[in-house]
A and B are shown apart, each in its own frame.
Chain A
């Protein structure tokens, strides 16, 4: 399996292991959900591979490692409800002033959702850019570099009783991939290129065909 697929699973595991029950993580894009499914700490993160950009000099003739820039989309969905002192309604001795004060200090659902998404994005960014996660859960050398190339928040949308807010974070990684041929093509020998630099005992540059 190519590394970009393994990295998706690894990203999900890294985020899930660090979630501390503050959010949920799933792979792939989901088709739809009810707003209350992402309320409070049920806020949801979707992780999936968005795009890959192989290096242009990579030769189709070669069977060695290639590098590509892979973008992984991390989508956030949070739901906000109104935060207000409801207990005042059950307090039979509450004065109109106390009730008015509860209404005055209510935190609106859009504001609740906004704060929740900010907190979630901060959390995820800190997890992904943590130096301890520089390999993204892969073997050393598979992932070369990492960038957060986009971080965006959408407009809040009113969904029935709730307000839903979504956002996106795009993580781009420099990833090494191996071209090993597809099983459907059979097991015959394929071209290999090794590098043999002059005076370099480590890197080899020679061409071997059907070795």
Chain B
């Protein structure tokens, strides 16, 4: 194995930090209708500050952070993707269906080799 510089080593470490023991399966279906299943960091909620009071509040905001180099096609802003994640933090849990849309584009992380997708609730038309 060739020597890796620090940046390359950091990206290589994503195999542990994002796709290792803490990871959950994520199913992505892109605009071409092609499915890819990867492991990634799945978070179901985040802590945000109430802009009026400064009080921290827990927001139900599912998002997944993935290793870019593990994706055969990387989502870009403005696209609509189906994203399925386990209902509970359990690798064998039933998958819930979400979508990623232009309402909330994916966040960078390119410097680290990651991409974060923000998931939205969807209902049948």
State the A residues within 8 Å of B (CB).
Answer: 32, 34, 36, 81-87, 89, 95-100, 103-110, 156, 158-163
Q: How far is the CB of B102 from chain A (nearest CB, A)?
A: 6
- Of B33, B45, B61, B119, which contacts A95 at CB under 8 A? B33
Stretch from B10-18, B66-74, B93-101, B109-117 at the A interface: B93-101
- Of B33, B84, B102, which contacts A96 at CB under 8 A? B33
**Do residues A81 and B120 form an inter-chain contact, with CB atoms below 8 A?**
yes
Hey, which chain A residues are within 8 Å of B34, CB to CB?
96
**Do residues A109 and B101 form an inter-chain contact, with CB atoms below 8 A?**
yes
**Do residues A160 and B60 form an inter-chain contact, with CB atoms below 8 A?**
yes
Summarize A's interface: helix, strand, loop or mixed.
mixed
State the B residues within 8 Å of A (CB).
Answer: 29-34, 45, 50, 59-62, 80-82, 84, 97-99, 101-104, 119-125
- Of A96, A104, A109, which contacts B103 at CB under 8 A? A109
A107 to B104 CA separation, bound complex (whole angstroms) = 14
A32 to B51 CA separation, bound complex (whole angstroms) = 12
A143 to B61 CA separation, bound complex (whole angstroms) = 47
- Of A32, A34, A95, A103, which contacts B31 at CB under 8 A? A103
A163 to B121 CA separation, bound complex (whole angstroms) = 10
**Do residues A89 and B97 form an inter-chain contact, with CB atoms below 8 A?**
yes
Q: How far is the CB of B73 from chain A (nearest CB, A)?
A: 12
- Of B33, B59, B60, B84, which contacts A99 at CB under 8 A? B33
Hey, which chain B residues are within 8 Å of A32, CB to CB?
50
A85 to B122 CA separation, bound complex (whole angstroms) = 9
8 further contact pairs, Cβ within 8 A, besides A95-B33, A97-B33: A81-B122, A82-B120, A89-B82, A89-B97, A96-B33, A98-B33, A109-B120, A162-B120
Hey, which chain A residues are within 8 Å of B120, CB to CB?
81-82, 109, 161-163
